[in-house]
Structure 1
Amino acid sequence: MAKIYDVIVIGGGPAGLTSGIYGGRSKLDVLMIEKDNLGGQISLTDEVVNYPGMKKISGSELMKAMREQAKSFGVSFVQTEVIEVNFSQDIKKIITQSGVYEGRSVIIASGLVHKKLNFKGEEEYRGKGISYCATCDGEFFVDRDIFVIGAGFAACQEALFLTRYGKKVHIIAREPEFTCARSIADKVLTNPKIEVSFNSEVLEVSGDSLARKIKTKNNITGEVVEYSSEDGENIGVFVFVGQEPKTALYKGKIDLDDDGYILTDTRMRTNLDMIYAVGDIRQKYLRQLVTAVADGAIAISDVEKCLYDYKIKNNSNVEIKKEVQIEEKPQGVFSEEMLNLIKETTNKFKEEIELVLVKSEDDEKNKKILEVSEELGKISNKIKFKIYEANDEYLKDKISLVRLPALYLLDKDGKYARIKYSTIPIEHELESFLQAMNNIVGEEEKVRESLLERINKLDKKINVKIGVSLKCTRCPQTVRATQFIVSKNKNIDLEVIDVITHKEFKTKYDIVGVPAIVVNDKNLYFGQMNLEEMIEILEKQ
């Protein structure tokens, strides 16, 4: 019989995490479903300075703390993508890429996605100069001219962040002035590395393999200006023109307003019984971190009351959960959250797994990956760890020795599992790395049968290389999806490559955005991909 949760929260941003914290603290059985790793849009924010009680903190740090707090109260997490919902019965069904989850109530907290402007070249140069995430892609534009499109809070904040990379940051704003708080607008206007063009819009971005030109128009004077990079250098174009709700799944099932936002009452209830919406996805006056957490607390409070009434009415004797005790963090390279994740994952391993580190000739490059690998081996007795020099006779003809140092995953029989990490599996990539090991020796991930059938039909030898950055929050989903395919089909192999460390790979394929997917060393794809999208790419080869 399938487990029935008290509450299923869709989305792991501040609103959803607050619902999880309050729900777990109230001894409700809460499941949080996250498509990406952690934290929603706020996790990409470099600096949060207006959250009460926090003088200054990064969005990612705040979300990590909230997630750990939720876990300490017994909240369960699963990383997968919701593809369908059924709210027609008392027990609600959430259909995902990895299976069906059931709950007595649902809180929708899946937030917003970036809007596109649809100017000429926007789609063509996505990942080749055009980006929607400064944290993920800013470091690719060191000493380059960077253009930020937008006039709101996000545009101003990201422009300030990008000044640490670009030689000049140009803001192109349709509005006659900034639409954000005066305090941040003044910071932008007084920054010597930022130049602002108001009443202007982008007409076109062009170039060759990378974006090198941008054409803008002043809507007051009618003047058209084309900027060409000096000495043929590429440019960066970051689009921050607002967001739109991710509500396509709920159209025709929940009442939405004309702009696609979910309609709720003051208790965050939708028009359907026991279905709630919180955070940026609902219709509201102010979309800020502080209102998101308030929404989450209000919704779960109503859920708790309704579930209590339901249990009394139905004479239901539900077992009270115990709070999860978090062990004190030992000293080392892993944070407390990372340690808990490693222990939680490796405890599920049915057999030992072997990690092989092949060192490069550069001792400095070896140092960090060696430190991480050795500590992984110490944390769990399910991980066997071996070190080899590149010229070791044992390695001859067994594995590819291009791009070292690198970690290789071996299966229970000591054979190369066709997954190689030419990067340090830490930060955002730790979870995908652990999942790769779990796919080999642990519990099998649940995936729709139709997707498994398509994976099994891939009958050509295909080599996939995914260029990542350890700062990127979009890369792990793409890596995780590809690793799953590799675990199910021996025709596919994967290398995960840190493009900042391995500059020759970045240069060869003109990579100025991540994730960057190279298939069979010739076909390039850019952007975050889920399992079905990765299958589609491999089916085309």
Structure 2
Amino acid sequence: MNTEMMYDLIIVGGGPAGLSAAIYAARARNKVLIVEKGEIGGQITAAGALVNYPGVPNTTGKEVTEAMYEQALSFGAQWLATEVTGLELTDTIKTVHTKKGDYQSLAVLLATGANPQSVGFTGEKEFRGHGVAYCATCDGEFFTDKDIFVVGSGADAIEESIFLTKYGKSITILVKKAAFDCAQTLVDSLQEYPSISVKYNSEIVKAGGTDGILSYAEFKNRKDGTTWRYDAPPDDTFGIFVFAGHQPNAVLFGDAIRLDPKGYVLTDGEQKTTVDGVYAAGDLCVKSLRQVVTATADGAIAATAALKYCGAMHRQLKLPKFPPTSAIPATAKKNDPTTVPSPHTAGTFLTAEIRGQVEPILAKITSVVTLQVHGNDTDLSKELQEAAQEIAALSEKIKVQTVPQSPENIPYLSLLKGENTDTGIAFHGVPGGHEFTSFILALYNVAGPGQEMDEETKTALADIDATGKKIAMKVLVSLSCTMCPAVVQETQRLAAASSHITAEMFDLQHFPKLKNKYRVMSVPCLVINDHDVHFGKKSMHELLQLLKNV
């Protein structure tokens, strides 16, 4: 048994529950590994304002979880950005299979969360991305001055409806039962928003339209059976936002872990599952309240119980104490290209703080990369030129070229390997906001050393290249979208590794024609070869499957 490669606790999932557990376990000088396939913080990063986290009155899910991530690393926890492909949980020594290899531990904490759940009304799938949406922060702006229906009876439905008042002309909440399933104080807060109305005992039955444009919806009163219909104004559309609960991410567990009829993990008071040495925390578990504060509490309780179990296993198996990894200062995050914060501009592209964080990353690049600005005399072109020059000033390996284009064309920025080889990677719009990290990662992947690519991805990419097919991907985004960067980054990562693939980001605020052409009412929107249109966040595995089918 190679104890050097073993951990006391492996945490599957890097949301609030997993990060809280990592903080408690690593601070107690245990060897801890967090495995997360997505971004730091999980789904809470897609939320807008977080106003009910104790002691932090005005923040966001992203800010809170980034601080938790830094804290966990500062105590010595390790972070592994990859996907878990399998779990062996019933043995004394647990094994976690990932795309980057196998890892073993004495205990495992499951914190995989839950995904938004669809309702199942007729037309829901057909009009997803064309009027049916699941993220107010990402898609609210597409429904400016339009009527919006919100499906849901919990706190999420109310909070997201309030957020949508920034955009919608009217908001109608459809509650299936006679009352909301949340605190009355939250329900009472709706009185402050005259544009919000509530229909109780109501559900949507059907949504429809023609040519990909949502134009009508049919509703039913579940109590008396009456029905009614809404028709959008002529030449207009409307929105349906679904906040109807979540589906637990329990596919990996198979039959090893006992679940309730809805698929949530059953745990005891210490968050222990029905398997010794296996714990669960957060939205994955059976619980009455799913909030950030309860997820962090779950994580702390689970970690504390897991460490007692680990101590007993060390004694039983006569194992030496696993040396914890060295604590990483919080500032180390600044040197990680996958976690660069977004710049907050004030007349310039980079603030002094962001410049100081980006410079160590760009110092690692190994070859020349050229930022080619296709510009004119517009303000957007000047912004792109400024951004390119400020980034280039941070590394002698980054060059800038300017390619004049006519005033009617929208300026954009493309990346060249060396000074002449087009990579097919481009940003149509200033890569700020949530896409700033995408921009830095694109530089890093083109100039080298680049992000590590697992063998499965390499093999799949080689198979796609072997067909000789040319694949052009457009990712249509909003800079306020928290789910868009994942798709931009994965597509451009493939483009950096393959001469057969191109990947371009389009900020839709500058491209209304593209928005209309593909009937986009939700982002991210991935368009492959100007034909196949896909909405929503995509993992690398899902993306490769789409490309194989081109």
Q: TM-score scaled by structure 1?
A: 0.89
Q: Which residue of 1 aligns with 2:338?
A: none
Per-residue deviation, residues 47-94 of structure 1 (Å, max 9, x unmatched): 333222122322233223222333333433343332322335455333
1:271 aligns with 2:293: no
Q: Note closer, same or farther for the CA distance 1:419–1:74 as it changes in structure 2 (3 Å cut).
A: farther
Per-residue deviation, residues 482-519 of structure 1 (Å, max 9, x unmatched): 22332333221111111123223222222111111112
1:473 aligns with 2:482: yes
Per-residue deviation, residues 255-280 of structure 1 (Å, max 9, x unmatched): 22222111222222223343221111
Q: Which residue of 1 aligns with 2:340?
A: none
Q: Note closer, same or farther for the CA distance 1:38–1:471 as it changes in structure 2 (3 Å cut).
A: farther
Mapped contact 1:146–1:166 kept (Cα < 8 A): yes
CA distance in 2, matches of 1:135, 1:21: 29
Q: Which residue of 2 aligns with 1:182?
A: 184
Q: Which moved more, 1:19-28 or 1:221-230?
A: 19-28
CA distance in 1, matches of 2:396, 2:199: 58
DSSP-derived class of the 2:414 partner: strand
Q: Which moved more, 1:427-436 or 1:208-217?
A: 427-436
Mapped contact 2:461–2:544 kept (Cα < 8 A): no
After TM superposition, list the pairs within 5 Å mapping 1:262-301 onto structure 2: 262-301=265-304
Q: Which residue of 2 aligns with 1:502?
A: 511
Mapped contact 2:388–2:400 kept (Cα < 8 A): no
Percent identical pairs in the alignment equals: 35
CA distance in 1, matches of 2:21, 2:27: 10
Letter of the 2:416 counterpart: L
Q: Note closer, same or farther for the CA distance 1:391–1:179 as it changes in structure 2 (3 Å cut).
A: closer
Q: Note closer, same or farther for the CA distance 1:81–1:318 as it changes in structure 2 (3 Å cut).
A: closer
Match for residue 453 of structure 2 among 432, 437, 445: 445
Mapped contact 1:346–1:382 kept (Cα < 8 A): no
**1:248 Cα deviation (Å)?**
1.1
Letter of the 2:73 counterpart: K
Q: Which residue of 1 aligns with 2:12?
A: 10
Q: Which residue of 2 aligns with 1:71?
A: 73
**1:106 Cα deviation (Å)?**
2.3
Q: Which residue of 2 aligns with 1:318?
A: 323
CA distance in 1, matches of 2:518, 2:44: 31
Per-residue deviation, residues 186-240 of structure 1 (Å, max 9, x unmatched): 1224421112111111011111212111111122332221111112211111001
Q: Which residue of 2 aligns with 1:416?
A: 422
Q: Note closer, same or farther for the CA distance 1:355–1:304 as it changes in structure 2 (3 Å cut).
A: farther
Q: Which residue of 1 aligns with 2:399?
A: 385
Q: Note closer, same or farther for the CA distance 1:285–1:225 as it changes in structure 2 (3 Å cut).
A: closer
CA distance in 1, matches of 2:352, 2:9: 26
After TM superposition, list the pairs within 5 Å mapping 1:163-312 onto structure 2: 163-208=165-210, 209-308=212-311, 310=313
Q: Which moved more, 1:505-514 or 1:439-448?
A: 439-448
Per-residue deviation, residues 330-352 of structure 1 (Å, max 9, x unmatched): 99756899668746754653434
**1:154 Cα deviation (Å)?**
0.6
Q: Note closer, same or farther for the CA distance 1:492–1:157 as it changes in structure 2 (3 Å cut).
A: same
Mapped contact 1:3–1:102 kept (Cα < 8 A): yes
Mapped contact 1:436–1:480 kept (Cα < 8 A): yes
Q: Which residue of 2 aligns with 1:112?
A: 114
Q: Which moved more, 1:408-417 or 1:95-104?
A: 95-104
Q: Which residue of 2 aligns with 1:47?
A: 49
CA distance in 2, matches of 1:227, 1:221: 19
CA distance in 2, matches of 1:256, 1:339: 48
Q: Which residue of 1 aligns with 2:544?
A: 535
**1:478 Cα deviation (Å)?**
2.0
CA distance in 2, matches of 1:371, 1:12: 35
After TM superposition, list the pairs within 5 Å mapping 1:318-337 onto structure 2: 318=323, 321-324=326-329, 326=331
CA distance in 2, matches of 1:118, 1:317: 49
Match for residue 140 of structure 2 among 131, 138, 141: 138
CA distance in 2, matches of 1:53, 1:342: 31
1:356 aligns with 2:364: no
Q: Which moved more, 1:501-510 or 1:157-166?
A: 501-510
Q: Note closer, same or farther for the CA distance 1:151–1:500 as it changes in structure 2 (3 Å cut).
A: same
DSSP-derived class of the 2:59 partner: coil
Letter of the 1:426 counterpart: G
Q: Which residue of 2 aligns with 1:24?
A: 26
**1:164 Cα deviation (Å)?**
0.4
DSSP-derived class of the 1:495 partner: strand
Q: Note closer, same or farther for the CA distance 1:80–1:339 as it changes in structure 2 (3 Å cut).
A: farther
CA distance in 2, matches of 1:75, 1:340: 24
DSSP-derived class of the 1:230 partner: coil
Aligned residues: 531
Letter of the 2:18 counterpart: G
Letter of the 2:399 counterpart: F
Q: Which moved more, 1:315-324 or 1:295-304?
A: 315-324
Unpaired segments ≥5 residues, structure 1:
393-400
Q: Which residue of 2 aligns with 1:151?
A: 153
**1:138 Cα deviation (Å)?**
0.5
Match for residue 366 of structure 1 among 352, 369, 381: 381
CA distance in 1, matches of 2:108, 2:384: 41
CA distance in 1, matches of 2:512, 2:29: 50
Q: Note closer, same or farther for the CA distance 1:402–1:15 as it changes in structure 2 (3 Å cut).
A: farther
Q: Which moved more, 1:16-25 or 1:116-125?
A: 16-25
Q: Which residue of 1 aligns with 2:530?
A: 521
Q: Note closer, same or farther for the CA distance 1:383–1:78 as it changes in structure 2 (3 Å cut).
A: farther
Letter of the 1:217 counterpart: K
CA distance in 2, matches of 1:334, 1:97: 35
Mapped contact 1:408–1:420 kept (Cα < 8 A): yes
CA distance in 2, matches of 1:247, 1:340: 41
CA distance in 1, matches of 2:353, 2:200: 44
DSSP-derived class of the 2:370 partner: strand
CA distance in 1, matches of 2:536, 2:300: 34
Q: Which moved more, 1:487-496 or 1:442-451?
A: 442-451
CA distance in 1, matches of 2:471, 2:484: 20
CA distance in 2, matches of 1:210, 1:191: 28
DSSP-derived class of the 1:51 partner: coil
CA distance in 1, matches of 2:88, 2:460: 21
Mapped contact 1:359–1:387 kept (Cα < 8 A): no
Q: Which residue of 2 aligns with 1:398?
A: none
Q: Which moved more, 1:52-61 or 1:8-17?
A: 52-61
